[in-house]
Structure formats: C-alpha cells, structure tokens
Amino acid sequence: MEKFKLNNGVEIPAIALGVFRIEDQKITYETVKSALELGYRHIDTAMIYGNEEAVGKAVKDSGIPRREIFVTTKLWNDDQRSGKVEGAIDASLNRLGLDYVDLYLVHWPVKEHYVEVWKRMEKVYKEGKAKAIGVSNYNPHHLDDLLKTAEIVPAVNQIECYPYLAQQPVIDYCQAKGIRPEAWGPLGAGKTDVLGNQLIEHIAGKYGKTSAQVVLRWNLQRGVIVIPKSVHRERQAQNLNITDFELTPEELKQITSLDKNLRLGSDPDNFDF
C-alpha cells in the first residue's frame, strides 16, 4: 500500500475506502470488512454519515492490529456552532470503539466559527485523541485565515476533486503550505459521465485499466490521496489496484485540462447546513 507522509511525520495510506451514503449499519460493516480483506488500510467516515459504529466494529473484527489501520472521521458543523469539539470527538471515539483516530477533520468551514474551532482541534491533537488533524472543503482564503493564528498547520485538506473539478490552484496552494490534499468524490460520485469520457477511456485502453483506475491514478500521481467509495467488492479491488501503471506527464496534463469547474457537491463558500 502506497503511503504519503503528512507534515507531522504520520504516514497515511494513499488510497482509502470512503463510506458516505452507506447508512445501513450491516452494509457498512460488510463493506468495510470486505475492503480490509482486500488490503485497504484506510477508512474515511464522518459523524454525519451515521455509520461510525459499524466502521469501528468492522475494524475490530478484522483482527488486523489497530496501528495498521488508518481511520479518519470528521467534526460536523453543528458541533462547530455549539463549540462542543471535545464532546464531538469523544462521542465519535465512543461510537467507533477506538481510543484515538488517525485523522480528525473539520468537515466544512462554518462561517464565523472555523478559525476559533481550529484552536479546539489543536487541543484534541495535543491530548492524543487524533494522530493528525486537518480540514475539509477549505479554499485557500479559509486556510489563510486559519494559518494567521494556527499553532499547528492542518495535515490534510479533503476537497471535492475529479477530472471535471481538477482543483489545481487549491492543490498547489496546499502543497506549498505542507498540507496534503485529499480527493473526495474522486470518481465523480456516480453523478457524471466522467468515467465514460473519451480521453479517459482511451488512456484506460492503453494501459488495460478501467476509467475509474485512470482517474484515481491521475490524482495519486499529483500527490493527492484518493478515497473512492464502493459497496461492491470487485470495484473495491479495482480501485485499490492502481499502483502498477504510470501515466505520462502529458496524460496527466490532458486529464487536468478536462477541468470545467463542475462541482457536484456543495460550494464551500456558499452552503447552508
């Protein structure tokens, strides 16, 4: 499993299983169990996904030593507004059945709260409840605000990122600041025809890979962690099997140039939840 090093020295597996929109606890459990059997060592959940309990149980039942599995969860917006960050991480740990997470992310930059919240995230980190702390859906201007008073630079910024939303400026910004970018919705979340794009299909054919594997590989080669979600074992296997081929610099550029700023999720500068 390929790993990246975060800015505090913690190693993060470059490919994770995402578990958004798997509300059914039994399906979450089976999905995570299957992924761990296949070799995944990084699971991306969140309080708001409502499935931390099943994730934790699958991690425990896998028999794989805890230190070998990287677990990410996230601080939801209401807990930022109420200022109950310590309570939120404790509740997540309780549901997961863990005494620490590997990465704790602020899920969205909630206006008027995200700078103050970072101070509390730093406390969570210092108390050892998270081995690394980071953010999600932050644009450079949010990070600029946060970095003015931050003692700890976020280790990760998890953003929506797939070929039609290539996010090169945000990635460049993060990399310049030592913040590791991480792509959510890396396959286009099943909402676009990106996997049927002619260029991507052509490149996939050249390497005997699928379009999904090509778009994941593109992000990996840009230094971006990918967290594809699938409840299907064969797709999970496919999404993990992306380290045995290498896109050329020209192909990377061609895929990046498919960018049309097409956001499928919410806009970090304009959301109402």
Ligand X SMILES: NC(=O)c1ccc[n+]([C@@H]2O[C@H](COP(=O)([O-])OP(=O)(O)OC[C@H]3O[C@@H](n4cnc5c(N)ncnc54)[C@H](OP(=O)(O)O)[C@@H]3O)[C@@H](O)[C@H]2O)c1
What is the maximum span of the chain, computed from C-alpha positions, in angstroms? Answer: 52
Candidates 16-24, 33-41, 149-157, 217-225 — which segment interacts with ligand X by CB under 6 A?
16-24
Look up residue 126 and give its two tokens: 């210092």
Give the contacts of 13 (CB within 8 A, at least 6 positions apart). 1, 2, 3, 40, 41, 42, 70
Residue 96 interacting with ligand X (CB under 6 A): no
- The type of residue at 210 is T
Smallest distance from ligand X to CB 154, Å:
13
What amino acid positions are annotated as catalytic residues? 49
Query: Quick check: 212 binds ligand X (CB under 6 A)?
Result: yes
> How many residues touch ligand X (CB under 6 A)?
28
Nearest to 157 by CA among 166, 140, 148, 165: 140
Q: Which listed residue (146, 228, 240, 247) binds ligand X by CB under 6 A?
A: 228
Closer residue to ligand X, CB minimum distance, 151 or 244: 244
163 binds ligand X (CB under 6 A): no
| Interaction between residue 18 and ligand X (CB under 6 A) | yes
Footprint of ligand X on 26-65 (CB under 6 A)? 44
Amino acid in position 229? K
Distance CA 199, CA 112 (A): 42
Task: Work out how close the CB of 230 gets to ligand X at its nearest, in angstroms, rounded to a whole number.
Answer: 3
Binding pattern to ligand X, positions 107-136, x when CB under 6 A? x----------------------------x
13 contacts ligand X (rule: CB under 6 A): no
What is the closest distance, in whole angstroms, from the C-beta atom of residue 7 to ligand X in the complex?
A: 19
For residue 30, CA distances in Å to 21, 50, 62, 81 come to 14, 15, 11, 34
Tell me how far CA of residue 233 lies from CA of 31, 80, 228, 238, in angstroms.
Answer: 8, 36, 12, 9
Output the smallest distance, CB 141 to ligand X, in A. Answer: 18
* Cα distances (Å, whole numbers) of residue 228 to 20, 82, 253: 10, 31, 22
* Nearer to ligand X (CB atom), residue 73 or residue 85: 73
The reply to whether 186 sits near ligand X by the rule CB under 6 A is yes
- DSSP reduced 3-state for 252: helix
Stretch that binds ligand X, among 13-21, 56-64, 140-148, 149-157 (CB under 6 A): 13-21
Looking from the CA of 54 toward its CB, the CA atoms found within 13 Å total 21
C-beta of residue 157 within 8 angstroms of C-beta of residue 128: no
- Which residues contact ligand X by CB under 6 A? 18-20, 44, 107, 136-137, 158, 184-190, 195, 210, 212, 227-232, 235, 238-239, 265
